[in-house]
């Protein structure tokens, strides 16, 4: 078995387990995203939950860069989805504005996730069922003081 890297409180960061990490800056949350990205492979979907400003996009920025994306990683709140071509293809969705999921929206999400992409989905609850089979990790980010955040990583697959 591959040794799991340790979190600050001693739990593994991967391996079908749950880990909780605290970060004290946006850069630290990016670094956590990068660490997680090393375990992902094409076809994987990561769901990100947490309040506005909790750090979901920041986490994805670190992950996407680690996967070789060299374009600026910005919030796709209005575009719904951004694609990055790196060492692997990355899809970054933000479904905040998707009120309900009509057939058309469902198709859009499926199109964005088609092919060999590693996908990160913010505000995923309208499509969590649709994505369940591909979801390998659920990330929950929580405010924990000014620049402090708590990240809970719940792995759904061995990685
Ligand atoms: N420890 C930290 N981790 C992440 N972001 C932090 C941290 N400390 C401060 N920040 C700041 O908090 C903000 C997080 O914004 P971000 O866009 O990542 O949130 P989000 O969860 O994607 O929000 P939204 O739901 O609006 O998409 C950024 O301005 C970032 O610089
Ligand atoms: Mg965001």
Q: How far apart are CA 30 and CA 2, in angstroms?
A: 24
Residue from 133, 126, 61 nearest 96 by CA:
126
Q: Facing residues of 22 across strands? A: 150
pLDDT tens, residue order, the chain (159 aa): 444 444 455 455 666 699 999 999 999 999 999 999 999 999 999 999 999 999 999 999 999 999 999 889 999 887 789 999 999 999 999 998 886 667 778 888 999 999 899 999 999 998 888 899 999 999 999 999 999 999 999 999 999
92 lines ligand 1 (CB under 6 A): no
Give the model confidence (pLDDT) of 74-111 as tens digits.
998 877 899 999 999 999 999 988 866 677 788 889 99
Sign of CA dihedral 39, 122, 102, 114: negative
| 89-94 vs 117-122, strand pairing mode | parallel
Say if residue 19 is exposed, middle or buried (CB neighbours under 10 Å; 0-12, 13-18, 19+). buried
pTM: 0.91
Distance of CA 56 to the CA centre of its chain: 7
62 lines ligand 1 (CB under 6 A): no
* pLDDT in the model for residue 100: 67
53 lines ligand 1 (CB under 6 A): yes
26 lines ligand 1 (CB under 6 A): yes
Residue nearest to atom 15 of ligand 1 (CA): 53
CB 91 within 8 A of CB 75: no
Please give the angle made by the CA atoms of 51, 110 and 121, to the nearest 5 degrees. 20
CATH number of 18-155: 3.40.50.300
Angle at which helix 56-66 crosses helix 26-37, to 10 degrees, equals 50
Looking at ligand 1, which atom is closest to the CA of residue 52? 25
Residue from 78, 83, 133 nearest 112 by CA:
83
Residue from 79, 82, 68, 84 nearest 34 by CA:
68
Q: Which residues contact 111 (CB under 8 A, 6 or more apart)?
A: none
CB 144 within 8 A of CB 6: no
135 lines ligand 1 (CB under 6 A): no
């Amino acid at each position: 078995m591959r040794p799991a890297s340790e979190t600050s409180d001693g739990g593994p960061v991967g391996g079908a387990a749950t880990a909780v990490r605290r970060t004290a800056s946006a850069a630290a949350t990016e670094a956590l995203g990068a660490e997680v990205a090393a375990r992902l492979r094409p076809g994987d979907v990561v769901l990100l939950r947490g309040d506005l400003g909790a750090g979901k996009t920041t986490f994805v920025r670190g992950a996407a860069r680690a996967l070789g994306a060299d374009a600026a990683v910005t919030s796709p709140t209005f575009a719904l989805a951004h694609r990055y071509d790196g060492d692997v293809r990355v899809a970054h969705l933000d479904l905040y504005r998707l009120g309900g999921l009509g057939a058309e929206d469902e198709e859009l999400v499926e199109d964005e996730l088609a092919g060999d992409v590693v996908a990160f989905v913010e505000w995923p609850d309208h499509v969590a069922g649709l994505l369940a089979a591909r979801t390998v990790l659920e990330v929950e980010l929580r405010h924990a003081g000014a620049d402090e955040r708590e990240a809970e990583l719940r792995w759904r697959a061995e990685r």
